[in-house]
Amino acid sequence: MELEIQTLEQFKGQARLPKFAVPKSYDLTLKLDLSACNFYGKVLIDVSIKGFTKFIVLNALELEFHQVSFTNSQNLKYVPSDVLVDSDDEILVLVFEEGLDVGNGVLEIEYSGVLNEHLKGLYRCTYLDKGVKKNMVSTQFEAVDARRCFSCWDEPALKITLENIPSELTALSNMPISKEIIHESHKTVHFEDSIVMSTYLVAIVVGLYDYIEDATDDGIKVRVYCPVGKSEKGKFALNIALKTLEFFTMYFSMPYPLPKLDMVAIPEFSGGAMENYGLITFRENELLQDELHSAALTFKGLLFSIWQLTIVVAHEVAHHWFGNLVTMEWWTHLWLNEGFATWVSYLVTNILFSEWKIWNLFLQETIGGLRMDSLEQSHPIEKSLASYMKMYAFKNAKTEDLWSVLTETSGVEVSSIMDIWTKQKGYPVISVKLNNSTLKFEQIQFFSSALNSDAQWIVPLTLSLGSYSDQKKFLLESKIGQLNIGDIFGGNEKIVAENWWIKINTNQAGFYRVKYDDNLAARLRKAIASNLLSASDEFGILDDAFALCEACLMPFSSLLYMMDTYRKELEYIVLSRLIDVCYSASKILREAIPKLASDLNQFFISLLLSSAEKLGWEATPGESQLNALMREEVLMALANFGHPQTNEEAIKHFQAFINDENTSLLPVDTRKAAYVAVMRNTSTADRSGLQLLKKLYREVDAVQEKTRILRCMASCPDPSIVAEVLDFMLSDEVRHQDAIYVLQGISWEARATAWTWFKEKWDLILKKWGAEMLLTHFVRDIITPLCCHEMANEVEAFFGSHPVPSIELNLKQSVELYS
């Protein structure tokens, strides 16, 4: 025992596995038992021994090992004297008494495991077959959960075989099926050898599916797997996948490397989607389009699950180049995968659907994130990315590798600027003052908690001076800088004109916030009221104002004064942000000065009412998709803020819908408002609203409608009702994955009750979600809204005695947000 401890100790606490042995390929066979919910596995790993060693160390978790051996190239078989498992470090240590010489060999491991219900690794979930709940299998291996399915290192090529599969079920993996053998009621499915890929991209799905298919011009077969009888709902996603595959092949000057691409709707899935090589897995509502229940209608009459479906599909397809073909060297470089996949997904969506104004929506997703000015300006980057893809295809890359390629192709020393942005925490806020004709800039690090530091950035500033035709660029390379703009206009006459304005960070293209002096802020308010600014700049000014107020860098009164300027017709991106700011500002003031909460709600209602009246409750012929999105958000906001006429109208429409689900009186984009109004008027004295929503939830079949109902159920101001809804969320009636929708909708009035409920149900929550990323949603949606120092202390005390390492970072961020 003492020797075992010494052996384990030398490998514990290491971020990476030792390099004694390196895998070249895997031959994996899994025998699944969907009734007993377990599996038997056998993996043959071609291994290269790099130096004489008595140890082979690889990753493994929650597996039971039965037989292990290593056979070298001379056909000599070695059986380890010890097989040691460390669950804390998730490693398997094989100890060989004789030692292994340099050379190649095959490591054979036989083992078994459980098909867990935690939506990670190789897990089981359920589907309905003619009303009967049955088991199926899926995988989620990112970031490090392949080790729950088979012992592994990273970057292998794989050959996968699945045994004991019920004959009626579809079996899928990364590669096409090479052979299928039927054994009466069960079958064995063999898949083609894979290309080299990281283990987190390996995927297996076994379930009952229909599919639709098509092919790209160069012969790549694309399929969308849908629940039986619902294959038509995959048409839109199939069309997007085909177009994005062809676009990215052209854009990166690199062909898609696999013979097929499958996209599969998984009934229980912890994330939104996962870019497994050749087998992308999705939540059902992220992939399927339901014509009766999907909000937003384009002018052509094509119904679909708004623009997010396009973005999600494009994002996951893009990962097959950024992330799969060229993989990050380690998880610290994750932004290489996610950042570029996000950016190019918006790029291709803008090309496919220019009428959506998707770059404006990109601002909403990133809230001040970096954005390219135009497609023309991205052309040199396109050349650089193509070079990068060719250089690092089927390899691992670091951040520095990308900077090196960009520097070589552009002739600009990229790393000296970008290292400051990618290796330094946070970003700057730029204070701007106008003194005569001189603009003075000062940068400090921006913290939402109003802290300061000595950090500095090299900041490329863009300025619009009275119009978008008069623009200037200025590189702020130190803490303080100044720019004489009088020279640009040949004097001060234009600068002092009443309607003249300055907007820093034109179209919100830069990753920084801006704080204007009173004079410049007043000029911007006039420019907004006069419709002189672009929607992205109206968005940016409002977003910066709220962030500065939250960080105590701007008075709350100044924020309200700025918000009052937006009492006009707004584009979707601006109205949506205004609504979000109303929600956030309301929570801040209700906590700080409760007696003013009602007056503030009336102010917010007055801001939003004209937009609601213009949009109405019914779509007009030929209106844009963005109008439908605005209608949904503004009516729901008015219902939340307690506008009597909106609530009255919403409840009337809801009752008509309950009496006849085919009525035109409650179109999809008004249902959230109706559900919220119903729940805001529900209490322990009158529970009929909750009972009706539960009944509707049980009766509707569409995933989108069930999701919409769950999002609104906990919006009730009565804490007792919200506690009942949270208990309903724990029941078998709500899918494991769908808890996040209930949590997102918890009312402000019930936040303390939700925290009490969370503590009381902790053991059950931990048992049900403790091993999953979904647990982070409990932290974000229950703990973050608590909003005071006293509660921060209580939260820290609770988790001090109930530690969960996987949520420590999320917990710290939540505490920072409200303390």
Asked if residues 542 and 566 have their Cβ atoms less than 8 Å apart, the reply is yes
Catalytic one of 142, 286, 316, 724: 316
- Unique residue bearing structure tokens 């970003």: 427
Contacts 24+ apart (CB under 8 A), 618-625: 618/664, 618/667, 619/297, 619/667, 619/669, 622/299, 623/297, 623/299, 624/298, 624/299, 624/355, 625/296, 625/297, 625/298, 625/299, 625/306, 625/307, 625/355, 625/356
**Structure token digits, residue 183:** 């054994």
Radius of gyration (C-alpha) of the chain in whole angstroms: 29
Tally of CA atoms within 13 A in the half-sphere of 394 that contains its CB? 10
Q: State how far the Cα of 320 lies from the Cα of 331, in Å rounded to an integer.
A: 17
Integer CA distances (angstroms), 663 to 305, 657, 668, 712, 750, in order: 20, 6, 11, 21, 33
In sequence order, the 6+-apart residues with CB closer than 8 A to the CB of 715 are 640, 675, 676, 679, 680, 745, 746, 747
- Unique residue bearing structure tokens 């060693």: 53
Q: What DSSP assignment string belongs to 699-755?
A: H---HHHHHHHHHHHTT-S-HHHHHHHHHHHHSTTS-GGGHHHHHHT--GGGHHHHH
- Residues β-bridged to residue 747: none
**Structure token digits, residue 723:** 């506690």
Quote the longest CA-to-CA distance of the chain. Answer: 91
Q: State how far the Cα of 18 lies from the Cα of 50, in Å rounded to an integer.
A: 11
Query: Amino acid letter at 359?
Result: W
Tally of CA atoms within 13 A in the half-sphere of 44 that contains its CB? 10
Task: Strands of 73-156 (E only): list them.
Answer: 77-78, 82-86, 91-100, 103-114, 121-129, 132-140
Q: State how far the Cα of 454 lies from the Cα of 799, in Å rounded to an integer.
A: 32
Nearest to 374 by CA among 346, 352, 355, 353: 346
Does residue 632 have an active-site annotation?
no
In sequence order, the 6+-apart residues with CB closer than 8 A to the CB of 675 are 654, 693, 708, 709, 711, 712, 713, 715
Integer CA distances (angstroms), 767 to 555, 589, 739, 755, 764, in order: 45, 37, 14, 18, 5
Q: State how far the Cα of 275 lies from the Cα of 318, in Å rounded to an integer.
A: 9
Asked if residues 410 and 378 have their Cβ atoms less than 8 Å apart, the reply is no
The secondary element (H helix, E strand) that includes residue 188 is: strand 186-191
Number of H helices, E strands in the chain: 27, 29
Q: State how far the Cα of 263 lies from the Cα of 454, in Å rounded to an integer.
A: 48
Nearest to 712 by CA among 676, 680, 667: 676
Asked if residues 73 and 104 have their Cβ atoms less than 8 Å apart, the reply is yes
> Checking phi first, is residue 45 left (phi over 0); if not, alpha (psi -120 to 50) or beta?
beta
3-state SS class at 109 = strand
Q: State how far the Cα of 271 lies from the Cα of 722, in Å rounded to an integer.
A: 25
Asked if residues 104 and 49 have their Cβ atoms less than 8 Å apart, the reply is yes
Give CA angle at 306 (644, 605), nearest 5°: 20
Q: Which residues are catalytic?
A: 316
